[in-house]
Amino acid sequence: MKKSINLPPVPAVLLAIISVQCGAAIAKTLFPALGAAGTASMRIGISALILLLAYRPKFSKITREQWKIVIPYGLSLGAMNLVFYLAIERINIGLAVTLEFIGPLLVAIIGSKRLIDYCWVLLAATGIILIAPWSNTHIDSLGVLFALLAGALWAAYIILGGKISKIMNDGDAVTTGMLFAALLILPFGFYENGLINLTPRLFGLGVALALLSSAIPFTLEMKALGQLPPRTFSILMSLEPAAASICAFIFLQEKLNLYEILAVICVVIASAGSTLTAKR
């Protein structure tokens, strides 16, 4: 009898992070042909089909209470991905992920009155200040705004995901949410005319994008979450901005200046620190 590969949880999370960021790099190479909206549409659409085949949820059994949460959950997921792709179309992936991480960071410490948590907020704010386009720099202001908006949508996605996970099966929730994400994004893809340029080669890259950005990391993270304490998992996920910067440099030759590197470090430390000192 064949034995399944038993990947330890920490390497599984790190591999998931690398997979997501490699997916982002592939996505950016598709922008010239498909546009940001077309690329996002293809990724979410193919991911939804993969999840449908994998989980085959019974929509008739979803209750009214579940619909009320899973629909906005899916819409926030779709909007988050679309806006993030609009951000990395204009600014470096490493910077976009760094700015986007502000959303989850605020969710982690919101409502706290402890001094240490305000320190983490201050450190993250320092990171934003370091890369803010205060003068005529190479950083696109609209790209920065899109990344921050993606962070706000990520925060909403986390809150809604926490609620839906308590009343609905994980596989059904993610699949149903991804379908609504696809319904939201697809019109933008057609409006931008990116999907009209689809070829077999680009479709193949889209499948790779869906696997790297959704199917593979989702599987690895679910495996790790079953073995790691949530705090340890969150600390590992705090490495995402740094991983994004490294992958963007390797695959896209996107370089960060000293201030931008310091900004990434500030946000990574703030995210990991808030996880370590969190009461819950």
pLDDT tens column, 138-166: 778 899 999 999 999 988 988 888 888 88
Q: What is the DSSP string of 86-147?
A: HHHTTS-HHHHHHHHTHHHHHHHHTT---HHHHHHHHHHHHHHHHHS--SS-SS-HHHHHHH
CA angle 58/187/31 to nearest 5° reads 110
pLDDT confidence of residue 149: 96
Given a contact cutoff of 8 angstroms between Cβ atoms, the answer to whether 43 and 20 are in contact is no
pLDDT confidence of residue 6: 67
pLDDT confidence of residue 137: 62
pLDDT confidence of residue 280: 55
| Number of CB atoms found within 10 A of residue 59's CB | 10
Q: With a cut of 50, which residues of the chain have pLDDT below it?
A: 1-4
Residue with tokens 């008739």: 60
| Number of CB atoms found within 10 A of residue 168's CB | 22
Q: What is the pTM assigned to this prediction?
A: 0.85
pLDDT confidence of residue 2: 42
Kind and range of the H or E element at 9?
A: helix 9-55
pLDDT digits (tens, 9 = 90+) for 200-228: 888 898 899 988 988 788 778 767 766 77
